Structure formats: C-alpha cells, structure tokens
A and B are shown apart, each in its own frame.
Chain A
Amino acid sequence: AQKVTQAQTEISVVEKEDVTLDCVYETRDTTYYLFWYKQPPSGELVFLIRRNSFDEQNEISGRYSWNFQKSTSSFNFTITASQVVDSAVYFCALILYNQGGKLIFGQGTELSVKP
C-alpha cells in the first residue's frame, strides 16, 4: 500500500528563521511523482513542486528548496528566511504512474510564522 507521512503536525517559527518540513513516503512502485502543495486559510491547494522518481536532483526556487532522497524515501521541503505570508498548511503528496488521477496526501504540517 502507498502512504505519505508528515510527522510534524505543527511548526512555529519566528520570521527569518529557516524551517524544514519533513515528508516520508511508502510505495513499491518504481515510477511515481511527488508533490508539495500549500493550503492557506482560504482552503485552495496551491501547487508548489512536482518531482518524478527518476530525478533526485535537488531544486531551489527562490526561498524554497526541496531535497529528494530515494534511499530514505524522503522528500523534504525547506523555507529559507521564512515570512509571515508562509503561514499555511503544507501537504506532501504521491501519485503512482499507473494511477494518474489519484493524489495520495500526507496529513499536512501547519506552519506558523510569527513576526
């Protein structure tokens, strides 16, 4: 069975601190995609990044960076110099290649950035 685990339920940091959100996934499939979504209080899920299982290259986008390690089945997300606007619930998700529509989400990590 496939599963995504986000062990951190809530994280609270002070503005300008760096913060890492952990994501561990389980699947026996060799071809899959991993995602991160942001859910602000408005409720709409906002796409942040997609990674396929054959591309372990880390990625940086502005203050955001992602560390994908197949050896530990982890896809962690780091926000550098956090800002109050980063406050939201962040979800890690998995799609198997042969189940194109079914996103499997973790339980989410609620990030609170205080000024």
Chain B
Amino acid sequence: ETGVTQSPTHLIKTRGQQVTLRCSSQSGHNTVSWYQQALGQGPQFIFQYYREEENGRGNFPPRFSGLQFPNYSSELNVNALELDDSALYLCASSLGARSPNNEQFFGPGTRLTVL
C-alpha cells in the first residue's frame, strides 16, 4: 500500500508568482484535503476534493484553487503569491468525503517560501 506523497518537497517563489503543488493520494482513497500550516501554528483547512469536485472550503481567498484528477491525485494552485503564503502545505487523503470517522492520512508536506 502506497502512502500519501507530495511534490515538490521544498519550493522558493517570489511575490506575485504562481505555484502548483501536487499530491498523490493513498491507494483506494477518493478524497483529498489540503491544509496550510504556518510556522508555529496548527494546520488550517483550505479545501477538500471528492471525486473530482470541491467538497468544502475553508477561509481562503479564490487565488487558492485546486483540482482532482480521475486517479484521485490532486493539485493545489496559488496565484499572486504573497509573503504570508509561506508555509508547509499538507495534503491528506481519506476514503469518503462526508464521514468524519474516516481517518485522514497525511503526506510529508511541501515547504513553500515566498520572498
């Protein structure tokens, strides 16, 4: 069983640029959730994708967008990067979107630095 993987591991961008982060869900999982974790803080929910559709969104502006592909892998896109977007971005996969009983398995994260 393959776990959740994320790429790239680290990324450095400048303010105003755009970035795409990638996540491969655990085998058999159809749901992917994305979280932003600023330094010294707990993760904050960005959005969730279930069967290729957005299924819930946190308090993030529209310049944070995502996609989920037929193989359930996912992308997080951030446009017009700001300094405050510097964070660890975590992806979590689970089986089924609505059941909170389903454990979310987290990837190792992508560390984004915006200069």
Verify that A and B bind, or say they do not: yes
Chain A contacts to B: CB under 8 angstroms: 4, 6, 32-33, 37, 42-47, 50, 52, 91, 93, 95-97, 99-108
Q: Which A residues are in CB contact (< 8 Å) with B55?
A: 101
Min Cβ gap A7→B in Å is 13
Q: Which A residues are in CB contact (< 8 Å) with B90?
A: 43, 45
Q: From the candidates A43, A50, A52, A99, name the one contacting B108 in the complex (CB within 8 A).
A: A43
Min Cβ gap B65→A in Å is 17
Q: From the candidates B41, B103, B108, B109, name the one contacting A47 in the complex (CB within 8 A).
A: B103
* A45 in contact with B106 (CB, 8 Å): yes
* Chain B residue, CB-CB nearest to A92: B42
B2 contacts A by Cβ under 8 Å: no
> With the chains together, A27 CA to B102 CA distance in Å?
20
* A100 in contact with B98 (CB, 8 Å): yes
Q: Which B residues are in CB contact (< 8 Å) with A105?
A: 42-44
Q: Which B residues are in CB contact (< 8 Å) with A107?
A: 40-42
* A108 in contact with B41 (CB, 8 Å): yes
